[in-house]
A and B are shown apart, each in its own frame.
Chain A
Amino acid sequence: MHIMEGFLPVTHAVGWSLAAAPFVGYGLYTIKKSVRENPERRMLLGVAAAFTFVLSALKLPSVTGSSSHPTGTGLGAVLFGPTAMAPIGAVVLLFQAILLAHGGLTTLGANIFSMAIVGPFAAAAIFRLAKALKLPFGLSIFIAASLADLLTYITTSAQLALAFPDPIGGFFASFIKFSGVFAFTQIPLAIIEGLLTVVVMNSLLRYNARELQEMKITAAQPAEA
């Protein structure tokens, strides 16, 4: 989902940066507030950041013959709310843009918007919906994390289609083309991301059940087998 350096026209680059900036700013504020009120959650916040760090570095092969990477933003979005993930994702993307020539500074805003804003908001909303529908906890986490992953890549396709509309078919034809590159490759990787998020969440449930209850992720009395 990294749009390469320079591959957005100036107006788009500026526009996406302006769109992403308030989320990052507000996210920093919510993180500060959350850490001030519950200093012991700092470690768990680190885990959410580390998870994104690892997953976005894993370039995995996919059935389409291309490779791509998960995003890892679903876990943190469910744990700390979607806004917390905007600055965390921004740090990861900045690291990759500067040191890895992966993504770029001019496209940072657009990349933050897809990976660190759309993905986390989708994850949090889907998780809440799944909870309201009384789906099993693990399944809710799986659906939230994998759909967030997929939606991140669909957002990237839309961003590129806006910047590079097809001369004949316009935005829509171009969107189909970019989705063709990203979406099918991403499906198995989204499933992998969903499964890994469930693995981490299972471990948290087992060893950090008290924190999760305090954070209202799980009900007050989890079903102890």
Chain B
Amino acid sequence: MKRYQNILLLIAVVALAALPLWTAKRAPSGPEGSQAAQFSGTDDKAKDLAQNISPAYKPWAKPLMTQQGGEIGSLLFALQAALGAGFIGYYFGVSTTRARMRRETDTETRC
């Protein structure tokens, strides 16, 4: 059980992440049957809600870079995830090798 725990946990993660793709309620369609964006981000929704509550509020600052478009945005998000995942992978690569070499030297000294 302990041995397969991580694999089982990862399967659960994938299932939890994928399930909403089928079960989530559809975004309400707008006028003329135009489909509202499905799975829009909560950060954007909160922004809309803030504007709803205080229609008079004017945001007093703008993001530094907005003109990059969706493609470049996803590039940077992918880069962020890749850098992080790459480092974690490297660390566990080092760790597993070191653990194995420790075990090997242990058995050698015992012999």
Contact = CB atoms under 8 A, between A and B. Distances in A.
Contacts of B20: 61-63, 65, 188
A173 B42 CA distance: 18
A57 B27 CA distance: 23
Give the bracket for the number of chain B residues in contact with chain A. 35 or more
Contacts of B13: 192, 195-196, 199
A47 B1 CA distance: 26
A99 B20 CA distance: 29
B71 interface: no
8 shortest A-B CB distances, which residue pairs?
A: A6-B59, A53-B84, A54-B84, A101-B63, A6-B61, A207-B95, A50-B84, A57-B80
Interface of A: 1-7, 9-10, 43-44, 46-47, 49-68, 95-106, 138, 153, 156, 160, 163-167, 174, 177-178, 181-182, 185-186, 188, 191-192, 195-196, 198-200, 202-204, 206-208, 225
From DSSP, what is the main secondary structure of chain A's interface residues? helix
Interface in B28-80: 38-47, 49-50, 53-54, 57, 59-66, 68, 73, 76-78, 80
Contact of A203 (B6, B53, B78): B6
